Amino acid sequence: MKVLQVSAEFFPLLKTGGLADVAGALPLALADVGQDVRVLLPGFPSIRAGVADALPVAEFDTPWGQRVLLRLGHISVGERQVAAYVIDAPALYDRPGNPYEDAHGQPYGDNHRRFALLGFAAARLAAGLDGAWRPKVVHAHDWHAALAPAYMAFDGSIHRGDAASVFTVHNLAFQGLFDHGHFLELGLPHSAFDINGVEFYGHLSFMKAGLFYADRLTTVSPTYALEIQTPEQGCGLQGLLRGRSRQLTGILNAVDEAVWNPSTDALLPARFDVDRPAGKAQCKAELQAQLGLAVRPDAPLFTVISRLTEQKGLHLVLETLDTLIGLGGQLALLGTGVPHLEAAFRERAAAAPGSVSATIGYSEALAHRLMGGGDAILVPSMYEPCGLTQMYGLKYGSLPLVHRVGGLADTVVDSTPDALSGGSATGFVFDRFDAEGFTGALRRAFELYTRAADWQRVRDTAMRQHADWHTAATRYLNVYEEALQ
């Protein structure tokens, strides 16, 4: 089956979050189960630089009259290659820094055009723009690509059975909302700006376009698929999602073991696995020394790798940090986000340098070292569609401490007495999203850490968990077949 994956990001070329990891891993997994997969990406500078031998395929006009070029090359991912279309439109994409915002943190004023073009190009490929390759399934990821199903639905040259569309919600909270005045630029018929279409409380919603027009819908965990049908997490779209619940499937993300595997990870000072655990202690000692923390094997080291936002629950970590330090623990944080949280963690690190480290920014190498050296990883999100961080933590024996929500609930088994005796425990889970709930889980983590043999058993169970892309790819293939039917 010819499958076109459409995304604004692609690891290792461009990454602002988990979307890039999925966009980079899924094409390879689909190829492994026999599919003919290509990706379509916007021509951001880092993407253009990373696509080799990008030759012109076709020129076409955007709905607002701009002439753009489509190129086809390949991306090297380790020793493998992924065929990649790149939209060559420098006036829209050739901007430094963040792909979505300017230097002042404000969304670019023409984002509606920049990402409408991504969906429009996908639909043109579905209509046969590249005479040598025409997809049977267009799989669009998140709001950036969400107009692809709408453009396909209104393209009279794409007949039923020619091509199907699948839309994946990675995070419903980011919807691609624009002023209704921009609708006229997009080339969709007037009938599309309707409650049964792309209109959302008087605005233009890219996310809603994907949800309404795609043949099949997926999201990134089974629990999140249920949560987004509720008023609490439906972001105003719960009615539409309930109406399409029979077309909605939750497919858990997976771990790309070519990138995240402690037994082969070249970014770690020592490799280890569940059968050869000694290297983890070395990773911890070297991480403590690198970050200026007291080099103490007896101090449980809690890590955070996250965007610093309220949604990620980092205020709970700040509120309970005195308890963590008082119990003899250490905290090492890596992240960037809202200024007041950045400043707060910097202040706490300066006040307790032997116990707290805060690295503001992002470093792929440090992220791997935190996974390898940490005893536990904190993911106390208010909501979390899937979360890859806790899945990496399981793989690296850094026990996740999580809020019972979304993909966190689907992937971490709380260390209750029953789970411990039954051998299924893999971490720590709390239900109440407040400091009290978080502190309860934190204290249980400290208590388990004092029982070295029990901690080792839970860590072994965590490291043996399977979250493989082969299983996920097979489930996506089933969705593609349903969409074509």
- Give the total residue count for the chain: 485
Asked whether the beta carbons of 408 and 379 are under 8 A apart, the reply is yes
| pLDDT bucket at 310, cuts 50 / 70 / 90 | confident
The answer to whether the predicted template modeling score (pTM) of the entire model surpasses 0.75 is: yes
Measured distance CA(79)–CA(450) in Å, rounded: 43
Computed over every residue of the chain, the mean pLDDT equals 96
Query: Strands 137-141 and 80-88: what pairing?
Result: unpaired
Residue type present at position 467? A
- 252-286, pLDDT tens digit by residue? 999 988 889 999 999 999 999 999 999 999 999 99
pLDDT above 90 (res 466): no
* Per-residue tokens: 39: 């990706």
Residue whose C-alpha is closest to residue 117's, from 167, 171, 66, 169: 66
Walk me through the domains of the chain, giving residue ranges and CATH numbers: 2-254+469-484 (3.40.50.2000), 278-463 (3.40.50.2000)
Tokens of 1: 């089956």
So what's the pLDDT on residue 160? 78
Q: For position 291, what pLDDT does the model report?
A: 98
What are the pLDDT digits (tens) for 196-215? Answer: 999 999 999 999 999 999 99
Closest of 119, 115, 170 to residue 142, by C-alpha? 170
Mean pLDDT, residues 50-65 = 97
CA–CA separation, 73 and 77 (whole Å): 13
pLDDT tens-digit map of 382-410: 999 999 999 999 999 999 999 999 999 99
Q: How confident is residue 93, by pLDDT bands cut at 50, 70 and 90?
A: very high
Residue 287's identity, in one-letter code, is L
pLDDT at 36 over 90: yes
Q: What is the pLDDT of residues 144-197, one digit of tens each?
A: 999 999 999 999 888 878 899 999 999 999 999 999 999 999 999 999 999 999
Residue keyed to tokens 């990891």: 21
Rounded mean pLDDT, 125-135: 97
Residue 96 confidence (pLDDT): 83
